[in-house]
Amino acid sequence: MPNLQIDALFQLIKSLTKSEKRNFKLYVNRIHSKEDVKFIQLFDVLDKMTVYDEGVLLEKAKGIKKRQLSNLKRHLYRQLLTSLRLVHISKNIDIEIREQIDYAKILYNKGLYLQSLKLLDKTKTIAKERHQDILHFEIIEFEKLIESRHITRSIENRAEALSGESDRRNEVISLTARLANLGLRLYGLYIKLGHVRNEKDAYMVREFFRSNCPKLPENKLTFFEKIHLYQAYVWYYYILQDFRLCYRYAQKWVDLFEEFPNMKIHDPDFYMRGMNNLLACLFFIKYHSKLKQNLLKLEAFCTESAASFNPNSEILAFLYIYTARINLHFLEGSFTTALKLIPELNAELDRFKSELDQHRVMVFYYKIACIYFASGDNENAIVYLSKIINLDAGHLREDIQCYARLLHLIAHYELGHYNLLEYLVKSVYRFLVKMKDLNAIQTEILTFLRNTIYKSPMALKKDFIKLKARLVKISEDPYERRSFLYLDIISWLESKIEERSVETIIQEKAGITIR
């Protein structure tokens, strides 16, 4: 029976680019003799395999015995990481700074503590300029250690200066960690529940934020203190559905990178994350021109920076650009045009399938389903909605799981699958009750579908008009508006009443002229 479990070494080798493999071979040739063939042989065999199978591996790697495999794999893994560190040191300022700290440690251990201090002083300047607060603190602590153990004849009041620097860095690190934790906890809350559902949810989020977010003078904060503060506010207002205030802090986030352009190079992921949040807010407040402008800006940045991107940056660039492109189509109502995006989007999802989390995949499936539904292709909408329904996602993004089932119902209704609908309505109702997410709009839609399955077209039109009136009234409740973030049910009802496509209705609302 082949051993098909995920293997860490195999995964690492499969993640290597051609240049990284070439550099690894050059590195190995420098540090190992030609006689050390087992080491290289293991790498070559794993590199050629498409699926990890230990039996096939031992069969192809002649001379490697099973009892040797574990140690060889462990050694190869370490050497690969060492080689990658050498390749990526120029692309990651934190790795470069750590290397200089390591060199300073070596000099100190050899008794050359004045040389060590000189190197640390130079490195500290770089850490300060690049806002590497934790490494900055580590350097200061090393300087303190040297000064406390040796007579260096350094500048007057050196001890007091270092102590003051250490206290300040410690405060910065502590506050940055506190703000980062706040943002992370808010993000975790959103991943589980989505937007607030009622006043009880809103009160809980407000109280949590009020008790955990310190009052801070923005003008005195460091770069990353500001970034984490803005990130916390973005998630706070996003969960509360206050997209205008969310937009304000997302813009501050992006503007900070414009103020320190070098940080876009040194931390492109954080910059792209800020742009993604800005684009999402612009979508929700329906600021079409600004969304289009900032999408072009993000695309240009990703194109210009592609050569220096690591795999993680490539994944984020894909996620954020395609999300914004789809949202732009949603805003314009250009769903038929958006269909052209789906094949390349699926290709990218397949390319990054081992790196993408279930949440990201679920969001894309839902957006694809909405594109198909709005363009009139209910069969394909059902295909992608079924992918979400069949995912073993637990409580992950309960909001999307609920609305996927609701849209799934409507798509079957459009196709005239009335016998199936009787079962599906009951099933969806049970699911929504279980998830504790059955709101007024969902109740109205479920009741409508259950009561109008077999009605005549003439009677249906009157029911559509009545349902629209009820939903418009319900939508005045700020906590019910979240339903329309996932499903533009009003436009669907208008399409049924006016006997026109959903796409045409949304385009007219967006001010798009159809030719």
Cα(336)–Cα(375) distance, integer angstroms: 6
Q: Helix 158-193 and helix 133-149: axis angle, to 10°?
A: 150
Contacts of 316 (CB under 8 A, 6+ apart): 269, 272, 273, 276
- Whole-number pLDDT of residue 515: 43
Residue 1 pLDDT level (bands cut at 50, 70, 90): very low
Inter-residue contact 403 to 363 (CB < 8 Å): no
Least confident of 22-36, 70-84, 107-121, 400-414: 22-36
Provide mean pLDDT across the span 63-69. Answer: 87
Picking from 277, 289, 359, the residue whose alpha carbon sits closest to that of residue 320 is 277
**Residue 329: enclosing H or E segment and its boundaries?**
helix 311-332
Residue 28 pLDDT level (bands cut at 50, 70, 90): confident
Contacts of 126 (CB under 8 A, 6+ apart): 93, 96, 97, 100, 132
Please determine, for residue 514, whether its predicted confidence score (pLDDT) is greater than 50: no
The structure tokens listed for 199 are: 């006043």
Of all residues in the chain, what percent carry a pLDDT higher than 90? 50
pLDDT tens-digit series, residues 228-249: 999 999 999 999 999 999 999 9
Cα(116)–Cα(48) distance, integer angstroms: 45
**Domain assignments of the chain as residue spans, ordered by start:** 8-88, 93-154, 242-332
* Residue 503 CB burial class (10 angstroms; 0-12, 13-18, ≥19): buried
Please determine, for residue 221, whether its predicted confidence score (pLDDT) is greater than 90: yes
- Whole-number pLDDT of residue 457: 65
Picking from 97, 86, 151, 87, the residue whose alpha carbon sits closest to that of residue 120 is 97
The structure tokens listed for 506 are: 């949304």
Residue 443 pLDDT level (bands cut at 50, 70, 90): confident
